[in-house]
């Protein structure tokens, strides 16, 4: 230990053998949805997800311990996912198993010695030494945050500790730009007892949190001193950088003009973003650092460097640690925050300019010194210094700090990890002081029956009973005219007295002094209900209802990712009869009796109800009493029609409501994520009907438009290479690459309107993909059409006009409008009603504005954005607003036909050049229009996107069904299997059903498939159906499924895999044919039901996968 510096990450060398329970979790990959919730709750960072390549998975020292599955998410294309557990660091606390939301669980406890004897330790060591890949995902999502390497790991905290997961998540979000002042207590004992240091650095960047501990009582002042010093030093750095930039602009070039001009450009960018609370400033500094060191220390440049400039640059370099936007956290336990350190804490929070964050892990006692009472201890708890039961209720710290109105306040708990994540992010981004108090189960609470092995369930019970409320107070919402108080746990689902019976600190009082206990427990029950009533009133919003019961429309949601919740709250804000939006689990079925209810429901997993709706749905199904006559409802369902269980949760909810005699005022709306317009298409169709159904006029939406920040350049024209560089920034920001076409050939007979082409792209080794993946192509508009539109639309600017963007569209610098409208903005796409409403806000004439909004029928006539802008030219938005209103061009995904085992440096696509008809005749979609004009040698901007199908192993029998270009992924699977067979490996049967219209014109890959059937007939079967060649009744691929035995043999008898690819009309009739095949000619009720169940089980167990459009 030198100069107060302690070596980071020493706890990784401290191992536990055996651990307290001699058990560790085992991962069942087939039941896992990769949500990473188990990882978030682990107190010791001993279970982690890893993003790996297929080569890395195959090179693992013990492949049987290194199970991988295809990573979910577009940003993880071509990678594998694995969940690994450290057998010598895990304490066997069960928290991860309890947190797993799947049924059956994807984690199960097993004997640690079994894992160690089969290479578990070596497998963990291999995994943690693989490259860090957290930067591939958005770390500000729950799933993405857990891919970040925890910079607080393997601490000496108790097994099942309720404090450490909060600190661990802090380091995953902000650890590389984080400074911690830690009050003495448990969190300093497990967090910094020399020589054990759990705080560590990223092996990739060598950065980590800076941590220090002063005294117990002065931690707030200590952290405030850190913040004050940082603020002073950063203000000095800002001044130095501004002076340097100014001097450079005055004096012009030096002998080191190239390095200096790049550095000054980075300085400009840093000054623009210096207050952004993200990693942006850190990334900019990483680009500055080599230039600074080159100018200061490289003998070839520094000898010739201007002395005055050199001195200024040395001052900047000496303060270089202030370039990142640092996040100051003051952390500790309740003994410090509620009691001894409260005076200093209040002083820090009282001043709006103090941009510091406070995290209090509340164990409700002085845990580190043996469990004495603090002001955080609740009434009725029997702890040291209050053995006879504490009489005074708990100090309401959150409510106290909310009275300042400028403090961000949140009450969080591990049982709701998404809420925890959101609160920590909002606290960090708040410009001012924040206070986050977190419930932390502790060994001193004497949790029954299994101690801290029940830590996660204890958290869940605390929230469900109202013992620990979840809420956020966000002052920034006041500026938006919204209620700053958000209650995130609105329903008491359990009695608080049943929660008290789970902990020794309450049970002991009941045993020793039952009369006192009964009195205090009743007092707590009263206090909890009273507090909930007050919070519900406070959270009711700014609408003119005395109570929410006065609202005649109730808006409810069941949401897994937050989309349904957002839509429900937007709807409730727009509906004057609704007080707000609540999660289904926040109410009981009795609460909706006699009301009109609007449901927004997502589907998760294998057709399951999201977690925040499951309790309500279960209670609804258990209800036997019909609703009263005036109970009415409508459901807006959200899902993806490419999945078998599309909108199943919403359909189940609708059926349950109908079974209880509720009146459906409107058929269920369906927001389909896989439709061309996404969820919005179905949502707007439903919204157009729901307002009349509720007896309301559609709200006159005044859309909020945030203009794009831009400046008009002084230059009249921009060189082509600079324009291309700017567009390159945009494509880099969406992680695409320009890939050349090495081979292009037609797969069908020309001369008719269905042309199939094979595109082969020369990827080198830059794009990694797996069988079943897709290639997402980003098209561009026809430049001549763009020029024509711009010149007709505006006399103030055209395609040659140069503007300067400040990171809009990922571009920082200058670009021409012609390039921007050609490559980025979907100018010729299909407009929405929302766009028309936005455009109408710029129409000054009331009659014309009314005509625009009533002219929404014109949206159905094949017009595009450019048509509307020219049609309503008098509503002329300023350029910054127009750029914000027009959507960006979306990529279109095409299934990959090639197999990486055969063609690792090439990607082949099978593309149908699709057409559609309108009043003006035949038209092409944007992507197809671009593709049909391309030639060999041309390049396409694209990126690999994971498909929805996990490739089969060579031991699995396979049935593939594809129509048209839906043959593509099956060709990839087939080519991969042929490669394996050619290596001399025995492979399982592969049956391919392919259909199209005409055999002579549209038998795609005919020669190749027929040759494969001839050479590999022992395991490959080809079945084809060409519907337009048939005389009389048309025969489709689904008919072949019913007429042959392959599905029965390979899927039902041999537990094989089914893959389906085609348009959305294919799955339903195919499923019916599977039932026929599985029933084997039997038509009695029992056989029919068993066949239907067998088909459903294919999807439930992941053995049936489909890609539909």
Stated length of the chain: 1109
Closest CA to 869 of 826, 809, 902: 826
Closest CA to 374 of 358, 359, 395: 395
pLDDT at 540 over 80: no
Model confidence band, residue 706 (pLDDT cutoffs 50, 70, 90): confident
Residues 178-187: what's their mean pLDDT?
A: 95
pLDDT at 947 over 90: no
pLDDT at 65 over 90: no
- Determine which of 99-103, 252-256, 698-702, 824-828 has the lowest per-residue pLDDT on average: 252-256
Residues 216-233: what's their mean pLDDT?
A: 95
Q: What is the pLDDT of residue 300?
A: 58
Model confidence band, residue 103 (pLDDT cutoffs 50, 70, 90): confident
- Average model confidence (pLDDT) across the chain: 91
Q: What is the pLDDT of residue 253?
A: 58
Helix (H) or strand (E) holding 401: helix 397-402
Distance CA 989, CA 981 (A): 11
- Determine which of 166-175, 214-223, 1018-1027 has the lowest per-residue pLDDT on average: 214-223
Model confidence band, residue 493 (pLDDT cutoffs 50, 70, 90): confident
Q: What is the pLDDT of residue 628?
A: 95
Distances (CA, A) of 644 to 604, 1094, 1101: 12, 14, 12
Residues 1057-1107: tens digit of each pLDDT? 999 999 888 999 999 999 999 999 898 999 999 999 999 999 888 899 988
More confident residue, 714 or 1016: 1016
pLDDT at 858 over 70: no
Distance CA 1093, CA 1071 (A): 11
Q: What is the pLDDT of residue 753?
A: 66
Beta bridge partner(s), residue 1059: 960, 1105
Residues 332-338: what's their mean pLDDT?
A: 95
Q: What is the pLDDT of residue 1?
A: 46
Phi, psi of 729 (to 5 degrees): -60, -40
Distance of CA 276 to the CA centre of its chain: 21
End-to-end CA separation in angstroms for the chain:
62
pLDDT at 985 over 50: yes
pTM above 0.85? no
Residues 941-965: what's their mean pLDDT?
A: 93
Model confidence band, residue 546 (pLDDT cutoffs 50, 70, 90): low
Q: What is the pLDDT of residue 93?
A: 95
Percent of the chain with pLDDT strictly greater than 70:
95
Q: What is the pLDDT of residue 301?
A: 52
Residues 336-394: tens digit of each pLDDT? 999 999 999 999 999 999 999 999 999 999 988 888 999 999 999 999 999 989 999 99
Residues 570-614: tens digit of each pLDDT? 899 889 898 888 999 888 999 999 999 999 999 887 788 988 898
Distance CA 767, CA 775 (A): 10
Model confidence band, residue 73 (pLDDT cutoffs 50, 70, 90): confident
Distance CA 462, CA 466 (A): 6
Q: What is the pLDDT of residue 548?
A: 58
pLDDT at 672 over 50: yes
Strand ordering across the sheet containing 737-746: 892-895, 774-778, 939-945, 737-746, 755-762, 906-913
Residues 754-766: tens digit of each pLDDT? 899 999 999 987 7
How many C-beta atoms lie closer than 10 Å to residue 38's C-beta? 28
Q: What is the pLDDT of residue 793?
A: 96
Phi, psi of 880 (to 5 degrees): -60, -35
Contact in structure between 167 and 191 (CB atoms under 8 Å): yes
Helix (H) or strand (E) holding 310: helix 307-318
Residues 254-269: what's their mean pLDDT?
A: 82
pLDDT at 299 over 60: no
Residues 17-53: tens digit of each pLDDT? 778 889 999 999 988 989 999 999 999 999 999 999 9
- DSSP H helices in 948-1051: 968-982, 999-1002, 1006-1015, 1037-1043, 1046
Give the dihedral of Cα atoms 279, 284, 290, 294; nearest 10 deg.
Answer: -150
Model confidence band, residue 144 (pLDDT cutoffs 50, 70, 90): very high
């Amino acid at each position: 230990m030198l100069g107060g510096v302690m070596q980071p990450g020493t706890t990784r060398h401290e191992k536990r053998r055996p651990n307290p329970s001699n058990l560790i979790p085992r991962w069942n990959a087939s039941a896992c949805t990769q949500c990473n919730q188990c990882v978030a709750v682990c107190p010791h960072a001993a279970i982690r997800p890893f993003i790996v390549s297929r080569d890395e998975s195959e090179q693992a020292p013990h492949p049987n311990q290194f199970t991988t599955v295809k990573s979910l998410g577009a940003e993880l294309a071509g990678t594998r996912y694995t969940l690994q557990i450290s057998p010598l660091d895990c304490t066997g606390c069960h928290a991860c198993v309890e947190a797993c939301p799947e049924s059956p669980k994807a984690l199960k406890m097993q004997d640690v010695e079994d894992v160690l004897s089969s290479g578990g330790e070596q497998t963990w060591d291999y995994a943690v030494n693989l490259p860090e890949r957290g930067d591939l995902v958005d770390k500000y999502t729950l799933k993405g945050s857990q891919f970040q390497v925890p910079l607080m790991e393997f601490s000496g905290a108790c097994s099942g500790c309720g404090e450490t997961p909060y600190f661990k998540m802090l380091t995953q979000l902000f650890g590389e730009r984080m400074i911690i002042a830690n009050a003495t207590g448990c969190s300093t004992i497990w967090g910094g007892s020399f020589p054990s240091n759990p705080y560590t650095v990223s092996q990739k960047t060598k950065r980590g949190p800076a941590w220090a501990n002063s005294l117990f009582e002065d931690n707030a002042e200590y952290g405030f001193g850190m913040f004050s010093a940082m603020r002073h030093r950063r203000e000095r750095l800002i001044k130095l950088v501004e002076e340097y930039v100014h001097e450079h602009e005055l004096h012009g070039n030096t002998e080191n003009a190239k390095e200096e001009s790049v550095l000054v450009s980075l300085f400009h960018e840093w000054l623009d973003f210096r207050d952004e609370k993200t990693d942006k400033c850190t990334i900019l500094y990483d680009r500055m650092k080599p230039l600074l060191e080159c100018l200061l220390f490289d003998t070839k440049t520094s000898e010739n460097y201007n002395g005055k400039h050199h001195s200024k640059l040395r001052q900047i370099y000496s303060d270089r640690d202030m370039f990142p936007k640092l996040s100051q956290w003051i952390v500790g336990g309740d003994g410090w925050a509620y009691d001894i350190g409260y005076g200093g804490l209040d002083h820090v929070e009282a001043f709006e300019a103090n941009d510091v964050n406070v995290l209090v892990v509340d164990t409700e006692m002085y845990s580190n010194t043996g469990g004495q009472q603090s002001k955080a201890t609740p009434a009725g708890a029997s702890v040291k210094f209050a053995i006879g039961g504490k009489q005074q209720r708990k100090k309401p710290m959150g409510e106290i700090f909310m009275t300042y109105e400028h403090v961000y306040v949140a009450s969080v708990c591990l049982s709701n990890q998404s809420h925890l994540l959101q609160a920590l992010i909002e606290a960090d981004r708040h410009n001012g002081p924040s206070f986050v108090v977190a419930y932390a189960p502790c060994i001193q609470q004497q949790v029954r029956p299994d101690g801290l092995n029940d830590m996660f369930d204890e958290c869940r019970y605390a929230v469900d009973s109202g013992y620990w409320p979840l809420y956020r107070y966000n002052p920034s919402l006041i500026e938006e005219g919204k209620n700053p108080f958000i209650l995130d746990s609105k329903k008491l689902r359990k009695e608080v007295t049943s929660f008290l019976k789970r902990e020794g600190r309450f049970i002991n009082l009941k045993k020793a002094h039952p009369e006192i206990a009964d009195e205090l427990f009743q007092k707590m029950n009263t206090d909890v209900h009273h507090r909930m009533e007050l919070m519900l009133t406070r959270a009711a919003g700014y609408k003119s209802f005395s109570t929410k019961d006065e609202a005649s429309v109730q808006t409810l949601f069941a949401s897994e990712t937050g989309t349904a919740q957002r839509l429900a709250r937007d709807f409730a804000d727009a509906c004057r009869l609704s007080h707000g939006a609540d999660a289904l689990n926040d109410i009981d079925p009795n609460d909706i009796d006699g009301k009109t209810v609007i449901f927004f429901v997502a589907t998760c997993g294998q057709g399951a109800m999201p977690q925040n709706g499951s309790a309500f749905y279960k209670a609804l199904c258990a209800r036997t009493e019909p609703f009263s006559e005036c109970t009415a409802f409508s459901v807006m369902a959200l899902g993806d029609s490419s999945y078998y269980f599309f909108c199943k949760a919403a359909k189940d909810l609708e059926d349950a409501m109908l079974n209880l005699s509720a009146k459906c005022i409107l058929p269920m709306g369906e927001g389909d994520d896989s439709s061309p317009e996404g969820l919005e298409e179905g949502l707007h169709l439903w919204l157009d009907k729901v307002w009349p159904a509720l007896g309301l006029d559609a709200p006159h939406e005044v859309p909020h438009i945030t203009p794009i920040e831009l400046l008009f350049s002084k230059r009249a024209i921009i060189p082509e290479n600079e324009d291309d560089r700017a567009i390159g920034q945009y494509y880099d920001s969406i992680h695409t690459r320009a890939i050349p076409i090495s081979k292009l050939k037609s797969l069908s007979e020309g001369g008719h309107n269905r042309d199939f082409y094979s595109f082969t792209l020369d990827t080198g080794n830059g794009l990694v993909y797996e069988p079943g993946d897709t290639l997402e192509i980003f098209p561009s508009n026809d430049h001549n059409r763009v020029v024509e539109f711009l010149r007709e639309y505006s006399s103030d600017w055209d395609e040659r006009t140069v503007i300067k963007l400040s990171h809009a569209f990922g571009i920082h610098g200058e670009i021409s409008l012609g390039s921007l409208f050609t490559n980025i903005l979907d100018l010729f796409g299909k407009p929405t009603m929302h766009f028309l409403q936005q455009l109408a806000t710029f129409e000054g004439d009331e009659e014309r504005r009314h005509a625009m909004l009533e002219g929404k029928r014109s949206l159905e006539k094949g017009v595009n954005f450019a048509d509307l802008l020219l049609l309503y030219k008098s509503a002329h938005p300023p350029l910054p607003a127009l750029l914000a209103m027009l959507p960006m061009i979306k990529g279109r995904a095409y299934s990959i036909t090639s197999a990486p085992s055969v063609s690792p440096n090439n990607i082949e696509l099978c593309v149908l050049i699709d057409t559609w008809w309108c009043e003006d005749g035949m038209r092409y979609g944007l992507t197809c229009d671009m593709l049909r004009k391309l030639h060999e040698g041309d390049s396409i901007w694209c990126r690999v996107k994971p498909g929805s199908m996990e490739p089969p192993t060579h031991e699995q029998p396979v049935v593939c069904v594809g129509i048209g270009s839906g043959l593509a992924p099956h060709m990839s699977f087939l080519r991969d299997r042929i490669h394996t067979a050619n290596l001399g490996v025995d492979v399982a049967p592969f049956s391919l059903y392919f259909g199209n219209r005409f055999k002579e014109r549209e038998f795609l890959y005919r020669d190749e498939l027929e040759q494969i059937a001839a050479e590999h007939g022992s395991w490959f079967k080809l079945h084809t159906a060409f519907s337009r060649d048939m005389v009389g009744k048309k025969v489709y691929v689904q008919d072949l499924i019913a007429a042959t035995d392959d599905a029965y043999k390979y899927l039902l008898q041999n537990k094989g895999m089914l893959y389906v690819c085609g348009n959305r009309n294919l799955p339903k009739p195919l499923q019916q044919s599977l039932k026929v095949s599985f029933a084997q000619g039997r038509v009695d009720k029992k056989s029919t039901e068993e066949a239907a169940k067998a088909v459903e089980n294919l999807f439930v167990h992941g053995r049936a996968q489909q890609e539909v459009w």
